A and B are shown apart, each in its own frame.
Chain A
Amino acid sequence: MAKQRGRGMASVNYPTGMNLGGDPSQALIHATTTGSFVVTLSSVDLGQGLKTIMAQICAETLGIPTDNVIVDTADTDTGPHCMGTFASRGTHRIGNAIIMAAKEARAVLLEVAAEELEVNAADLETDGKGNIQIKGSPGKSISVLETALAAHFKHGRTISGRGIFLQPRSYPEPETGRMTPATCYAHACTVAEVEVDTETGEVAVLSLKSAYEVGRALNPRMVEQQIVGGAWMGISHALYETTEPYYPDRAHGPVDFNEYLMPGPGDLPKFENVVIERPAPDGPYGAKGVGEMTANSPIPAIANAIYDAVGVRIDSLPITPEKVLRALKAQAA
């Protein structure tokens, strides 16, 4: 009876978005009188930070500070259509819709600024701090605020834009399965180190060391949150969770968090993560969907590490202490 260590690895890819039914999302953008920009959506922020990312994408395209962007979302009376927040599609689909809308709004913004400065709009650029200036001569400039005021009260123009991103529907070919199931793909590789207690069958995950290729990390802190949160879910799927512990038998289903087990803070391993960026040509500033994928590579990496530690294969999830002990017993027999 001993605690035995092992390590295993797994590598995966993950598709961004669904397109087996057509996959559109829309965005509307308008400037207020004082040069704030409102992004109107019907998309849902699940807590992963969608609103923050959308504000950053809008600001990048308009050439203004993110603080000046307001995201108004999740009301079907005001927001244009969105398929929903799932399938790692939010950043990619809605982000692209916002870029399209922001480009249209930016063009009007620069036209109005050009009239105010009595120059050609093509000669203007944004300084990213809330001003519009003549390329190469920051001295001659007008603020976004002044431009918005002038648009409203002098020129009678709306600084606004409409955006949509549609991934057209792919109909799988029935005989061969030829199809376009997704747009771009993100990638990951995880090395898991585990310790298996051969007396109790319990598995402790000691460390997860992973590399993630995400296209472009639009907000690195939120990428890290997804990575760590997702890896936690991966550990949980690998070792703890199920609503039917003796599947396909329906008995013994847990009904609360006393019975439905998940790792607590003390069960967390050491995380080390590296991010690689290979921008997706069709992604907003190169971004791919990273949300779902982060749970996937830890699961088989842990299963493979268990084999490395004690020489038994558990090919059914979750890998509970009961399964490990039964396998060790069978191995000894």
Chain B
Amino acid sequence: MLEYSSKYFAEERNQSLHEVGVERPRSDVQGHVTGRTQFYADRNFPGLLHLKMVRSPHHHARIKSIDVSKALKVPGVVRVLTAADIPSNIYTILCLIQVEPNDEPVLAFDKVRYKGEQIVAVLADSQRAAREGAARVKVVYEPLPAVFDVEEALKPGAPLVNEYHGRNWFTYEGHHCRRVRHGDVEKAFAAADHVIEEKYQSSPIEHAPTETTGCIVVPDSNDRFTCYSNTQALYFTLDNSALILKSPFHKLRLVGGTVGGGFGGKVDVIVEPIAFLAAMLARRPVKYEFSREEEMQVSSPRAAERIYIKDGVMNDGRIIARKVRLYVDAGAYSRHSPYGTTKAAAHMPGPYTIPNVWVDSHCVYTNRTPSSAMRGFGVTIGDFALEVQMDKLARLIGMDPMEFRILNAYRDGDLKAHGKETTGAALVECIQAAAQLADWPIGERYKAMSSQRKGA
């Protein structure tokens, strides 16, 4: 049930619209419900090869040797790919926006840094032969000590996860974390009526798409290669693939646009570069699709986060200081986490005007599946921590939680902790509307407040 509340911001709305503001069915809905939508995997190509990956059984180990000879003897196996076949093996997705360093091998060669990391790709005429070939690849490992906890990883002497960083954290312009500094929190804590510090934690979360990540690359007749993919970002995929393959950009083509669930899980560039290379070397169409197990345990999840929030609050309800220490568990490689960690820092202290804010937001490397983008990237877990904290603060000083939030909510013109002026605020009105919807009593004074500072 959806209803409109037109009593807020009526003067700011242009009412003379015809085609927008109108309900129309989604263009793909009929195809989806009748099972006629064509996904990438519905395409069939003669001579299609299947790609299966040999993956690390260890969280952290040195690779002593790789022997593919038995895999090549499996009937139906056409060839294998190892790190030596990749023209530019070490990459990072966000190199496209100048994030450094390149820190992740397409195929591991000297070390594996998480359980499930890809090492050898096996190409075969059938899925079964590809799986059997992958099972016959012999990799000899020397297990290394692993680190799984973000705060343990930051301690001196912790096992080094990623040599390309040389330390277990991403470096932000010389700092070990993304910082936000606004006012003086320590001075404000000294003046606060109450100071409380709480710890919040989340675990990794899977995007759980109906359709697992995958693609098919087809060699065209004119020495170009077309990749049918369910990526959320065609050019991210094309550009990264070309850099990894050292291929002229014009030789690659991405076709997509039908995705059986994204939620941020199909923003990483994992399956396409290796499938492009396989198709180039084998001169045959190649399909690389994640199994459900790979989708759940090997493809990037939402990062686990650990967040400490220390607040200074006054008996009259004003929050005067907020200090946040936030740790994003990036897993073994950067992928999109350096960006998400900055986004998490920028999101603090939530939609409230707090005059003193201090944030250290850390992107930490551990020996687990690399995390990456997911719906609400850098924000969802922060909101959990912030809003549970707000509930605790309201109860601490004996205020209604809605009134407490309305009092502290940002208004137009307020300065945010990251230095931007607030515009277009509407939190006060959302709280008022939700209170009315849920029959949650709030005082007249709070009903009269506005994001526009009328009657505040």
* A contact set with B: CB distance below 8 Å: 7-15, 18, 20-22, 42, 44-47, 49, 51-52, 55-57, 59-60, 65-66, 71, 73-77, 79, 81-87, 128, 169, 172-182, 184-185, 187-191, 209-213, 215-225, 227, 230, 233, 237, 241-245, 247-250, 253-257, 260, 262, 271-281, 285-286, 291-293, 295-297, 299-301, 303-304, 307, 313, 315-318
Contacts and interface: CB of A to CB of B under 8 A. Distances in A.
B71 interface: no
A9 B19 contact: no
A60 B5 contact: no
9 contacts: A75-B254, A177-B181, A189-B427, A209-B438, A233-B263, A256-B293, A276-B433, A277-B8, A279-B9
A237 B205 contact: yes
Interface of B: 1-5, 8-9, 12-14, 17-28, 32, 59, 94, 96-99, 115, 148-150, 172-175, 178-182, 198-206, 208, 231-236, 238, 252-264, 267, 292-293, 296-297, 301, 304, 329, 339, 342-343, 345-347, 350-351, 359, 366, 368-369, 373, 375-377, 379-381, 383-388, 390-392, 401-402, 405, 409, 417-420, 423-427, 429-435, 437-438, 440, 451
B3 to A, nearest CB: 5
A96 B365 CA distance: 37
Given A213-B426, A216-B21, A295-B376, 4 more contacts: A77-B253, A221-B24, A274-B434, A292-B375
Given A177-B181, A191-B440, A256 B98 contact: no
Contacts of A273: 1-3
Contacts of A296: 376, 379-380, 383-384
Contacts of B304: 244, 247-248
B430 A20 contact: no
A56 B426 contact: no
A194 to B, nearest CB: 13
Given A244-B203, A280-B424, A86 B27 contact: no
Contact of B1 (A12, A20, A237, A271): A271
B131 to A, nearest CB: 16
B59 A250 contact: yes
B339 A221 contact: no
A181 B418 CA distance: 8
A185 to B, nearest CB: 7
B346 A182 contact: yes
A272 B3 CA distance: 8
Contacts of A281: 423-424
B254 A20 contact: no
A292 B257 contact: no
Nearest to B369: A243
Given A22-B97, A213-B429, A243-B205, A293 B376 contact: yes
A191 B27 contact: no
Contact of B201 (A65, A178, A245, A316): A316
B235 A272 contact: no
A175 to B, nearest CB: 7
Contact of A242 (B5, B98, B205, B430): B205
A56 B21 CA distance: 9
B9 A285 contact: no
B148 A248 contact: yes
A257 B212 CA distance: 13
A218 B343 contact: no
Secondary structure at chain A's binding surface: helix, strand, loop or mixed? loop
Contact of B345 (A177, A188, A293): A177
A256 B291 CA distance: 10
B438 to A, nearest CB: 4
B369 to A, nearest CB: 8
A257 B210 CA distance: 10
Nearest to B409: A11
A282 to B, nearest CB: 9
Contacts of B433: 189, 211, 274, 276
A211 B2 CA distance: 10
A241 B3 contact: no
A177 B359 contact: yes
B198 A315 contact: yes
Given A177-B179, A317-B381, A276 B350 contact: no
A276 B262 contact: no
Contacts of B252: 76
B313 to A, nearest CB: 17
A44 B259 contact: yes
A71 B347 CA distance: 34
Contacts of B391: 8-10, 300, 303-304, 307
A87 B8 CA distance: 27
B267 A84 contact: yes
Nearest to B371: A243
A110 B79 CA distance: 60
- For the complex of A and B, list the 3 residue pairs with the smallest distance between their C-beta atoms, beginning with the closest: A84-B233, A74-B257, A21-B97
A220 B94 CA distance: 35
Contact of B384 (A221, A245, A303): A303
A49 B259 CA distance: 11
B94 A21 contact: yes
A262 B232 contact: no
A20 B173 CA distance: 14
Contacts of B351: 11-13, 185, 187
A77 B234 CA distance: 11
A82 B234 contact: yes
Given A85-B262, A253-B297, A274-B433, A42 B201 contact: no
A189 B381 CA distance: 16
Nearest to B392: A313
B22 A219 contact: yes
A69 B376 CA distance: 31
